[in-house]
A and B are shown apart, each in its own frame.
Chain A
């Protein structure tokens, strides 16, 4: 009972762009200082999405594993960079990038592969129509979670370094001295995705499900996919956040349980 979906034409998109142009006009009049940023962002989204559409169409026509792995690699590298770029206190780049990329690989990438092999079972298993959107959704959410948790941990620990040292001086273990801050940060990294699960369907219709319905899928089929995605994204984000924050807290102290921000950040000693 597959219904044909309605394709969009260029005039349709131009009509929608008039709305953005109107907003740009208003923003400039109100002197919000956003006119240029908004214009550039609108152009970027058009160009980037068109490009990615072309690439995906090319890949979808020739489902070669090597191509898909290459795209997955590029996506993971960009996500790892994005995590670092969102930090208010800049981590040592090489190290920060390595742990971010490692966490994205063992959570997002592994979960995607397992899902493709054991749940979706397409033929071939790496069919790009499934593999790339799935990985994209996992990476996007995991990236957000890691970036939030990492920022919270490093910022709070830096602000409270005197308290952490006080606790060390009183003979607490390093893991004990940082425990409260680490827990708070893990929570901060996971709360958005937990909230998204709780509000799904009642407050918001998740984007993926909306897209499938717009493309003509029966709602219940779209919902089943959405539930699958929600579970995968939550698990992937949660494991990655816990892993990254544990690696950072361990790095924050040396073998003599001294607080060593110089191992983490570029700080004047």
Chain B
């Protein structure tokens, strides 16, 4: 379970929200509305008011780096600082085939990867930490339809298998209705539930 209690982010109204295990929340809103800032606050990457609980563990109760291993943020743009893909993984990568790669991908040179490949690899890199909560900032923005579908399937399988939680930020309404159990939107500083059309 993930619980946002009086979460305060500049420019957005105070947010109270509880997400049940195994659920994926869809989040939309214009660019600049604060979706990314909301994800960053949940991952404790920015200063914010209020509290976030994951399985009754408060953000402030654990060291920040431990929190971010449980509550993983996948930024819209991934960054790589070593030479090969595999060096960036904290543990053995799983689900390699599920995202359309062969096992030798770990020895690939970063400089040869396309932006779409990096985006898919960054998802594998995040999942190698076995996070309890996935905060996904436009995870399929650089991907074609086939790969987008692979990512959707992998994320949904992961949250079912691990009883985890995902917050999926995206612009594609059709995609959000496929992956999300509930949808919310941020606009003009308000955070509201989207009632299904």
Contact = CB atoms under 8 A, between A and B. Distances in A.
Whether A and B are associated in the same complex: the answer reads: yes
A162 B79 contact: yes
Interface in A128-173: 160, 162-163, 165-173
A250 to B, nearest CB: 14
B63 A257 contact: yes
Contacts of B81: 160, 163, 166-167, 180
Contacts of A168: 45, 64-65, 68
A258 interface: yes
* B interface majority secondary structure: loop
B78 A170 contact: no
Contacts of A174: 64-65
A256 interface: yes
Contacts of B74: 169
Contacts of A167: 81
A174 B69 CA distance: 13
Contacts of B73: 169
B72 A169 contact: yes
A256 B79 contact: no
Chain A: number of interface residues, binned into ranges = 10 to 19
Interface in B91-137: 125-126, 129
B47 interface: yes
Nearest to A166: B79
A170 B64 contact: no
Nearest to B122: A166
Interface string A52-66: 000000000000000
Contacts of B78: 166
Contact of B68 (A160, A162, A170): A170
Contacts of A172: 65
Contacts of A166: 75, 78-81
10 contacts: A160-B81, A166-B75, A166-B81, A168-B68, A169-B75, A171-B68, A254-B47, A256-B44, A256-B64, A258-B45
Interface of B: 43-47, 63-66, 68-69, 72-75, 77-81, 88, 90, 125-126, 129
Interface of A: 160, 162-163, 165-174, 180, 254, 256-258
3 closest residue pairs by CB, A with B: A171-B69, A257-B64, A166-B79
Given A171-B129, A258-B46, 18 more contacts: A165-B75, A165-B79, A166-B75, A166-B79, A166-B81, A169-B45, A169-B68, A169-B72, A169-B74, A170-B72, A170-B125, A170-B129, A171-B68, A172-B65, A173-B63, A254-B47, A257-B64, A258-B45
